[in-house]
A and B are shown apart, each in its own frame.
Chain A
Amino acid sequence: MSTFWIVLVVLAVAALCFVLARRRALSAVDGDQRHLHSRPNYYGFSAALWAAGPALIVLALWLALQPLVVDRSVRPLVLEEDRNAALVMSDVTRLAGGIDRAIAMGGLTAQEARGLTADGLRDRLSDFGTALASEVSPGVLEAAQRYRTIEGRGALLRSILTIGLAVGLGAFALWRVAPGFRARTSVERAILGALIAAACVAIGTTIGIVLSLIFNTIKFFGLYPAADFLFGTTWAPSFGGGSSLGILPLLWGTLYISLIALLVAVPIGLLAAIYLSEYAHRTVRAWAKPMLEVLAGIPTIVYGLFALLTVGPLLMDVFGPGGALGVRWMGGGTSVMTAGLVMGIMLIPFVSSLSDDIINAVPQSMRDGSLGLGATQSETVKQVILPAALPGIVGAVLLAASRAIGETMIVVLGAGAAARLDLNPFEAMTTVTAKIVSQLTGDADFSSPEALVAFALGMTLFVITLILNVFALWIVRRYREQYE
């Protein structure tokens, strides 16, 4: 029975339990629900949860664990094959899937399938839409047969266990229904459990991602010296081996582009925020603020296109050969400047809306105090509001910086692909994120250092942005306490 059907049956059992439990609760008090501890629906929900909850949890665990068990018992059969074990295993599952499909399409009987030989199997299966990469070896066939047996047994056991659990626990819950049973409390507990489970999933996946980053980074450092990675000044991956994978040019590109982006975004964003919160009339603010927030909603790939198609050529017309200034600083449309300017535009709404909130949090009494002493509005902003809001604004800038560092699409389209340590902002350079993309999009072998380096790059970025974020949050929090 397939998973879909199992789930459907379990849900049907749960629905049945709901109806029965509700009816049983009502009939126990002759239809007068005032004598029940909880409203009748709670009895229904409680029974349905008993029926469906544990059964579905067991099903999920089973589905997660079965592949591991199968793999462990099949893998020893193919160890003597002199190819990569992971590739052989994928052949095995493919072959097993092909045989199953042939049976399902009526090309083989179950009896015939058990007695198959390796010769000509590839051609037979291709008739049923399964294309195998190479001829089937007897070892692989045997492993595939073993795989099918275990899978089949597992599927049967899984159906029986899950549905049995649903029916058994459902019956138990029905038996428990009585006027004094605190169904409402038990539903409450189930809801609490669901909330905790959701929180655990969120935290668990985060931890999982970080752990996978760490393990793969360690694996990479086993293949490539950490010192060469961290302090190397050339980035020249070659998939044939013998690559130089120094992160410094990439970090330089990242920081350079982020710096230009912040130089654009921080002054403009901050001044816009000051205008909006201190000077703008209420009606202006009412439409200008949402406009800025729309800007924040534009997908970064659109900014990337803008960089590639508009800003790059525009800069070429000014700084490129034959351009308006008559200088030859720029060789092509993609450059640090192109990506930095566009990323700065992307960050303006981010900076301005955070700063606006922070400036608005400065109490009106500060403004009144300053204006009451005969200060002008700009003196008030400069001498009182900005100093009071400064820690918060620094926090906002750091958050913007961590976004700039993690930005990918604008860089891929706007900055070029050359890893370079150079001061000229009109040169093409590239960043850590862009190189992660390019290291993983080729048909690289995922266990080579050239692909694994992506994890080390990701880890580096993660550490940098984590530090920035923690620092920013710490500053913002300190600032918040000031007026409380």
Chain B
Amino acid sequence: MNDMRLGDRAKQMDDTKIRARGVNVFYGDNHAIKDVDVDIADRMVTAFIGPSGCGKSTFLRCLNRMNDTISACKITGEIKIDDQNIYDSRVDPVQLRAKVGMVFQKPNPFPKSIYDNVAYGPRIHGLAKNRKEMDEIVERALRRGAIWNEVKDRLHAPATGLSGGQQQRICIARAVATEPEVLLMDEPCSALDPIATAQVEELIDELRQNFSVVIVTHSMQQAARVSQRTAFFHLGDLVEYGETGTIFTNPEDSRTESYISGRIG
């Protein structure tokens, strides 16, 4: 990674990982996402911002087909990850979710030990041949989750006994442990205090080395701090999408401008 030449890295950073075209989502009669096109780049952090109820979570959950679990939800259009349409009937949503990991708004560790939480994904996907490999996978994931040092002495203590910020980093480690290619995060810091938030943000910046990260956030400062690309949603429309710097300093659409200057909330 580090000895990769600059030219290669620049090229790779321009690769599109996810390509969505004409995506519409309906909850019954509620048209939650309206004809959205977006290209999400590999090894970058893309932020979704917008007022509540504008469909950020809905769109995020389309990317790993978590909306399949909601019976009222209907999706049309095309979402391609690495040129494979994920809504194709040949794609197994269960396999897809191993490739597209997700971290939720509220930390949701299972009522199991820290070790078993992180080993959960690798176990169901059979990623380890033996106990030793599993130990290595768990350690690597916890290190990537920037929580190894805090929990290495109590791996077999229940994860529910940790603080909220630690729990959220466990959940990130748990998602990372299955070696996904994309990591989706739905307001991962909204239940955390400022210190834990700073730790998670730092972590997101590191995760960009290996994954493409999509993060939904309510905080524009957070979007500005962690992301390279920003998408602004409003009432189900993707209003504006581009370089984070451009969106925040020089937005094209008046709705984007009023939102980031605090006039639409």
Contact = CB atoms under 8 A, between A and B. Distances in A.
Interface of A: 281-282, 363, 365-376, 379, 383-384, 387-388, 482
B101 A370 contact: no
B121 A369 contact: no
Given A368-B102, A371-B69, A374-B98, 8 more contacts: A281-B71, A365-B108, A366-B108, A366-B111, A369-B108, A373-B98, A374-B125, A482-B111
A372 B110 contact: no
Contacts of A373: 97-98, 101, 120-121, 124, 174-175, 178
9 contacts: A281-B71, A363-B108, A365-B108, A372-B102, A372-B175, A373-B121, A383-B124, A387-B111, A482-B160
Nearest to B99: A374
B64 interface: yes
B106 interface: yes
A379 B98 CA distance: 14
A368 B178 contact: no
A372 B64 contact: yes
B64 A369 contact: no
B91 interface: no
Contact of B66 (A365, A368, A383, A384): A368
Contacts of A374: 94-99, 121, 124-125, 178
B108 A368 contact: yes
B161 to A, nearest CB: 11
Interface in B102-139: 102, 104, 106, 108-112, 120-121, 124-125
A369 B99 CA distance: 14
Given A365-B106, A371-B66, A379-B124, A387 B112 contact: yes
Interface string B57-81: 0000000101001010000000000
Contacts of A369: 104, 108-110, 171, 174
B interface residue count range (under 10 / 10 to 19 / 20 to 34 / 35 or more): 20 to 34
A367 B68 CA distance: 13
Contacts of B64: 372
Contacts of B71: 281-282
Interface of B: 64, 66, 69, 71, 94-99, 101-102, 104, 106, 108-112, 120-121, 124-125, 160, 171, 174-175, 178
Contacts of B178: 373-374
Contacts of A376: 94
Contacts of A379: 124
Contacts of B160: 482
Nearest to A379: B124
B202 to A, nearest CB: 23
Given A383-B124, A388-B111, A375 B94 contact: yes
A384 B159 CA distance: 14
A373 B95 CA distance: 9
Give the residue among A363, A369, A373, A482 with the most B Cβ atoms within 10 A: A373
Contacts of A368: 66, 69, 102, 104, 108
A383 B116 CA distance: 10
Contacts of A387: 110-112
A375 B108 contact: no
Contacts of B104: 365, 368-369, 372
B67 to A, nearest CB: 11
B238 to A, nearest CB: 23
Contacts of A366: 108, 110-111
Shortest 3 CB-CB distances between A and B: which pairs?
A374-B98, A365-B108, A372-B102
A379 B101 CA distance: 17
A371 B96 CA distance: 11
Nearest to A282: B71
A388 B120 CA distance: 14
B260 to A, nearest CB: 30
Give the residue among A371, A374, A375, A384 with the most B Cβ atoms within 10 A: A374
B209 to A, nearest CB: 21
Contact of A383 (B102, B108, B120): B120
Nearest to A369: B108
A353 to B, nearest CB: 23
Give the residue among A367, A369, A371, A384 with the most B Cβ atoms within 10 A: A369
A373 to B, nearest CB: 4
A325 B71 CA distance: 48
A129 B178 CA distance: 92
Contacts of A363: 108
Contacts of A375: 94, 120-121, 124
Contacts of A281: 71
A372 B95 contact: no
A281 B69 CA distance: 11
A374 B108 CA distance: 15
Given A281-B71, A379-B124, A383-B120, A372 B106 contact: no
B82 to A, nearest CB: 17
Given A365-B108, A387-B112, A370 B66 contact: no
Contacts of B121: 373-375
A371 B110 contact: no
B184 to A, nearest CB: 8
B153 to A, nearest CB: 24
Contacts of A388: 110-111
Contacts of A383: 120, 124
A368 B120 CA distance: 14
A100 B122 CA distance: 90
Nearest to A483: B111
Given A372-B175, A373-B101, A373-B124, A384 B110 contact: yes
Contacts of A367: 69
Contacts of B125: 374
